[in-house]
Structure 1
Amino acid sequence: MLYLYRQQIIYITLGIAVLFAQPVMAQHYNSRVEINLSEHDSKPYYFGITIGGNSSRFHTRFHPTFLQSDSVLVAEPNNTGGASLGLSATVRLSNRFQFRFNPQLFFVDRSIRYVLSYPDPSSFNQTEVTKKVESVTMSFPVHFKFQSDRIGNFRVYTLAGIKGDIDMASNARAKRAEQLVKIEKNDWGPEFGIGFNFFFPTFIFSPEIKISNGIRNIHARDQDLRFSNVIDRIQSRMIVFSIHLEG
């Protein structure tokens, strides 16, 4: 699975290298630039809002039933986009470390593409069918941030933490289940990423990219449903791009 996130891992590694290279650069540069929000680093805490987009998909593991199935030939997750909106509260622990609580509301539309042996009457007799799973998820991530020295009005940071998710549109108990891939309500997993602070006179603009993966099997498998019984496990995979506006 590492090759799927190769580019993101490279960016994060480069960011860590920049963190350790910055102290000498910062001392030289800060003496020549007007520093915005110069008292911000002494604040014990601060707040912000978050807007973002994401690319998400399911990570699936087939059930042995898939090899025995005479109706489903392929079950392949698709990458899809989504959006998010949230708040943030950050507590200063030291010059280098901060703790952040960043609850967000995610609007996600994931799907699985099926190739069938026989035409599906419910899909206009097509042999290729895409089943969508719409989610409105409340995510509650907590992060530890490790930040560099400021270079003028710029700073880089890395983050690592854990999240808990509640899917408010979960269809695990849906009665019209034949045409659905049913997903459980709760999930949790690790997050890690990199971000950048740009200090303006009245606020901080912070673009950020992170990998957010679910660990729990969220598939509510039903042996009697053909779109469900060929899949054993489903886990969430997401790359999130966020913009934090903080003060």
Structure 2
Amino acid sequence: MALAVVLATVAQPTFAQRTIKGENLQGYESRQFRWGFSLAMNTSWYQLEHSNSYVDRLKTADLSDDISMNAKMGIGFNVNFIGSYRLSPDFLIRLQPGVGYYSRSIEYKGDVTAPGTTEPSEDGAVLQEINTFAGEFPVLLKYESLRRKNTQMYFIAGVKPSVVVGGQKKDNEILQVGTTDFSVDFGVGLDMFYPFFKFAPELRFSRGITNLHKPVDNNFNNSIQRMSSNTITLYLNFE
């Protein structure tokens, strides 16, 4: 992904030299329909709300027990199609269906046993990783600023329903989460017009509002009352 950004930046002066005068893709920003695709890299994590039983354990535990439960970030990727429809000179509706790979984990320290055993883990910690593939169906509203030669800033916001389509293990010994999510998305991007296509790097934040906690009677799930997703994604959009 980083290589693509570097190549696009280096190539911009070369493309600019090929234009005679004025703007690339003249009138493109006024088209009623647009089509394209996007490649992206994401970092995501869970936001935890601990259960009452977990809080009670903290109150009664000896300091040497070092009881803690923390969410860890992971790296993933996204591939999406883009379809945009212009509502007015400044606003567009964008549909961006696709698939995303997400890697999230939770580290549990203290009085904990390793999955599938009755013995404590050797280092006193267990890392529960949850790697999933999800089908995504974002519906977004895009606001575009005035075009200045071959660049144009924009803001984007909307909602993103998603459903897990693979990757998650079905084992009651480990942490389990729900298979459907609903998030609120918002971000900022820069449209860059080249002679034959439009390239737009975009940074977007997704805040899940669905409680992903799935009650299972084990050491990990009993410590959680609510669990939601957070994701920061760098999109490379091509239209």
Any residues of structure 2 matched to 1:35-114 within 5 Å, and which? 35-69=23-57, 73-114=67-108
- The corresponding residue for 2:134 is 137
TM-score, length basis structure 1: 0.80
Of the three residues 122, 127, 132, the one matched with 2:124 is: 127
Of the three residues 198, 205, 209, the one matched with 1:211 is: 205
Instruction: Tell me, in whole angstroms, the C-alpha distance in 1 between the residues paired with 2:210 and 2:133.
Output: 18
Corresponding pairs, count: 211
Instruction: Tell me, in whole angstroms, the C-alpha distance in 2 between the residues paired with 1:136 and 1:123.
Output: 31
Of the three residues 185, 197, 206, the one matched with 2:191 is: 197
C-alpha displacement of 1:169: 2.8
Instruction: Tell me, in whole angstroms, the C-alpha distance in 2 between the residues paired with 1:238 and 1:123.
Output: 32
- The corresponding residue for 1:233 is 226
| SS of alignment partner, residue 88 of structure 2 | coil
Unpaired segments ≥5 residues, structure 2? 1-19
| SS of alignment partner, residue 25 of structure 2 | coil
- The corresponding residue for 2:181 is 187
C-alpha displacement of 1:78: 0.6
Same amino acid, percent of matched pairs: 25
- The corresponding residue for 1:169 is 166
Matched-pair contact (CA < 8 Å) for 2:44–2:104:
yes
- The corresponding residue for 1:25 is none
Matched-pair contact (CA < 8 Å) for 1:72–1:114:
no
Matched-pair contact (CA < 8 Å) for 2:45–2:74:
yes
| SS of alignment partner, residue 29 of structure 2 | helix
Q: Deviations over 1:155-190 (max 9, x none)?
A: 000011111010113758x2x311x11011111121
Instruction: Tell me, in whole angstroms, the C-alpha distance in 2 between the residues paired with 1:118 and 1:165.
Output: 32
Instruction: Tell me, in whole angstroms, the C-alpha distance in 2 between the residues paired with 1:123 and 1:244.
Output: 47
Q: Which amino acid aligns with 1:101?
A: L
Matched-pair contact (CA < 8 Å) for 2:177–2:214:
yes
Q: Decide whether aligned partners of structure 1 residues 33 and 196 sit closer, same or farther in structure 2, where only a CA change above 3 A counts.
A: farther
Instruction: Tell me, in whole angstroms, the C-alpha distance in 1 between the residues paired with 2:120 and 2:22.
Output: 63
Q: Which amino acid aligns with 1:147?
A: E
Matched-pair contact (CA < 8 Å) for 1:171–1:184:
no
Matched-pair contact (CA < 8 Å) for 2:111–2:120:
no
C-alpha displacement of 1:204: 0.2
Does 1:115 find its partner at 2:109?
yes
C-alpha displacement of 1:119: 6.0
C-alpha displacement of 1:44: 1.1
Instruction: Tell me, in whole angstroms, the C-alpha distance in 2 between the residues paired with 1:118 and 1:158.
Output: 45
Instruction: Tell me, in whole angstroms, the C-alpha distance in 2 between the residues paired with 1:208 and 1:230.
Output: 36
Q: Which amino acid aligns with 1:191?
A: D
Instruction: Tell me, in whole angstroms, the C-alpha distance in 2 between the residues paired with 1:131 and 1:87.
Output: 32
Q: Deviations over 1:96-149 (max 9, x none)?
A: 011100112111110001102366457753301111001101111111111011
Q: Which amino acid aligns with 1:235?
A: S
Q: Which amino acid aligns with 1:50?
A: S
Structural RMSD (CA): 2.1
Unpaired segments ≥5 residues, structure 1? 1-31
- The corresponding residue for 1:245 is 238
Does 1:146 find its partner at 2:140?
no
